[in-house]
Structure 1
Amino acid sequence: MRTFVITGGTDGIGKALARSYLERGDEVAIIGRNAEKGAAFLDTAARLGAGDRAHFVLADLSLIGETRKAIAEIRTKLSKVDALVLCARFFRSTRSVTAEGFESNFALCYLNRFVLSYEMTDLLDAADTPVILNIAGPGSDGEIRWHDLGFADGYDGSAALAQSGPLNDLLGVGFTANAASRRVNYVLFHPGLVSTGFAGEYDAEMSTRVEALRASGKPVEQAIVPILAVLDEPPREPLSAFVTGTPISLDGPGFDQAAAARLHTRTTHLLANAAANNDKRSNLNRQEY
């Protein structure tokens, strides 16, 4: 029996993957911020006779603190993780900043994936053939705003979300280059246009575009077929990337080692500063109390 941890597991691709592996007899933990959808997942598992193999962890993954609490809860439920599947995303037409000071797309679609990737390596290393599968659109021509990662100037929701593609490409490169784990293979995966829930908060113009995308996207059940194939037989290479199941080259500028090192340094500094600020707030709250 294999063990899976899936973010964004209450909707779309994540939900379909979670159900598929439960039906196969595997153990699945999903992480999400909607308690009702989490309860529905557990109810479905119970009807499948898989109630003892299903777990739901309630967390807002746009918050680093909650991401780390989710990891701590996962540790109480699982002794190993065969596959960590990163699916969570949420679009916003209007710029939003989390309580920790990060732009929400950057926090949810990149920072939480960085934290989960690096801070769950011990659980992954306990498995026989561990893999991290990051669904984030590898190989895109998206631009990284090095001077303004959080789109404080001239926010555009589509551009902010698109930036998560190249950021996660570099996350995969950095994870491998830093030898975060000698055993975990990292897979970047682009599922193509899929008719998912398209979770988000949209203005009128974007709502129209989303409905058109939903109508033209392939069904989730079709989209997960190549994902299941990759998870069932993880590539032997430390880092690989796929677009709808077809391997793509890692030789392009989007997989540059120097850029990956730059991003890793910037990210660790951002996380350290956020942790320090959180400690200051906690100390102030205790003093006021």
Structure 2
Amino acid sequence: MRTTRTFVITGGTDGIGAAVARALFSRGDHVVVIGTDPEKGDRLAQEAAAAPGGLDFVRADLSLVSSTRRVIGEVVEAHPAIDGLVLCARYFRTHRRVTAEGFEDNFALFYLSRVLFSYGLLKALEKAERPVIVNVAGPGHDTPIDWDDLQSAGRYDGVNAMFMTGRLNDLLGVDFARRRGEGPVKYVLFHPGTTSTSFAGEFDAPTAAFIEHQKSVAKPATEVVPPLLRLLDSPPAPPLTAFSVTHGQLPLSEALFSPALAARLADITAHLLESESVRHPGR
């Protein structure tokens, strides 16, 4: 008899996250989906009710550190053992927005929430037989990191901000593997390629037109599911790996996956997460 496994997916009500959730509960696994839209969450839960597996929807704004920490606590309390974590949540903005905690929205959602989930679910992941974290972030991009302006305050460009934050996720994986290299949890950076997702975001007119074109030529999200399931079912042996749907396994070059830069980013991140605005929101 097949053992039911438990997976957590952030950004799981749309696109790749939702497609993976459907595949998991359809084969008998249990999925915890985290997202912002209760209607989409309810529809997924209704689909899962007729499937061999199950689904819990958790509504949360992961651009807020306080909300992310609360959700992590709830998930761990409900699911003391977790087999896999799939990080998909992100939201494109043409114009810069700052959260109530003082972080640029993209930086908070696309990077900080993934840091918090990676480490916040660690103990629960370590109780599984083959635990893995899959960070869907587009590894291997060579966008320069502006170390003096990680949150794009000086000159904001939505595309550059998202690509640069993707680089930060690469370094998150590098530092996670350095810290947890002897542990059982494997970290995988995953590039889905151009995929027809919900393209969630707030776009100006030229960007919206480009997005519509991308939707017309991109592959469906369901095509990304098989390689993701393979990674969840049989995680690679090394502590850190990077994969692209188009190019297969990617080399972890020193230039793009630098341990020194990863440690530098980890120190900056730790300081930001201990800031007064995060520990006491609203002050």
* TM norm. shorter chain > 0.5: yes
Aligned to 1:44: 47
What is the alpha-carbon distance in structure 2 between the residues aligned to residue 181 and residue 76 of structure 1?
25
Secondary structure of 1:137 counterpart: coil
Asked if residue 23 in structure 1 is aligned to residue 26 in structure 2, the reply is: yes
Q: Distance in 2 between matches of 1:196 and 1:21?
A: 18
Matched, 1:251 2:253: yes
Deviation of the 1:119 alpha carbon: 1.3
Amino acid at match of 1:264: A
CA 1:280–1:185 in structure 2 vs 1: closer, same or farther (change >3 Å)?
Answer: closer
Is the contact made by 1:121 and 1:180 (CA closer than 8 Å) also made in structure 2?
A: no
Report the TM-score when normalising by structure 2.
Answer: 0.95
1:280 and 1:197 mapped to 2: Cα distance?
A: 34
Distance in 2 (CA, whole Å) between partners of 1:101 and 1:156 is 18
* Counterpart residue number, 1:75: 76
In the alignment, the residues of structure 1 paired with residue 65 and residue 37 of structure 2 have an alpha-carbon distance, to the nearest angstrom, of 17
Deviating above 6 A after TM superposition, structure 1's stretches of 4 or more consecutive aligned residues are none
Contact preservation (8 Å) 2:11, 2:89:
yes
Residues 93 and 201 in structure 2, CA contact (< 8 A), matched pair in contact too: yes
Report which of the two has the higher share of helix: 1
The answer to which of 87-96 and 225-234 deviates more is 225-234
Secondary structure of the structure 1 residue equivalent to 2:196: coil
CA contact (8 A) 2:62 2:68 kept: yes
Map 1:88-99 onto structure 2 (within 5 A): 88-99=89-100
Distance in 1 (CA, whole Å) between partners of 2:33 and 2:149 is 32
Partner of 2:171: 170
CA contact (8 A) 1:131 1:185 kept: yes
Query: Structure 1 pair 30/265, CA: closer, same or farther in 2 (3 Å)?
Result: same
The answer to whether the 8 Å contact 1:57/1:73 transfers is: no
Pairwise CA RMSD: 1.4
Q: Could you tell me how far apart the structure 2 residues matched to 1:281 and 1:135 are? A: 29
Residues paired across the two proteins, number: 279
Contact 1:171/1:260, CA 8 A, preserved across alignment: yes
Alignment pair present for 1:14 and 2:17: yes
Tell me the TM-score normalized by structure 1: 0.93
Listed as ranges, the gaps of 5+ residues in structure 1 are 285-289
Shift of 1:232: 1.6
Matched, 1:240 2:241: yes
Q: How does 1:206-245 map to 2 (within 5 A)?
A: 206-244=207-245
Shift, 1:183, TM fit:
1.1
1:161 paired to 2:180: no
- Answer whether contact 2:189 2:242 (CA < 8 A) is retained: yes
Kept after mapping to 1: 8 A contact 2:126/2:185: yes
> How big is each residue's C-alpha offset from its partner over 1:194-228, in whole Å with a ceiling of 9 and x where there is no partner?
01110000000100010111111111111222111
1:57 equivalent in alignment to 2:58: yes
Q: Alignment identity in percent?
A: 48
* Residues 118 and 180 in structure 1, CA contact (< 8 A), matched pair in contact too: no
Report if the CA contact (8 A) 1:91-1:200 is conserved: yes
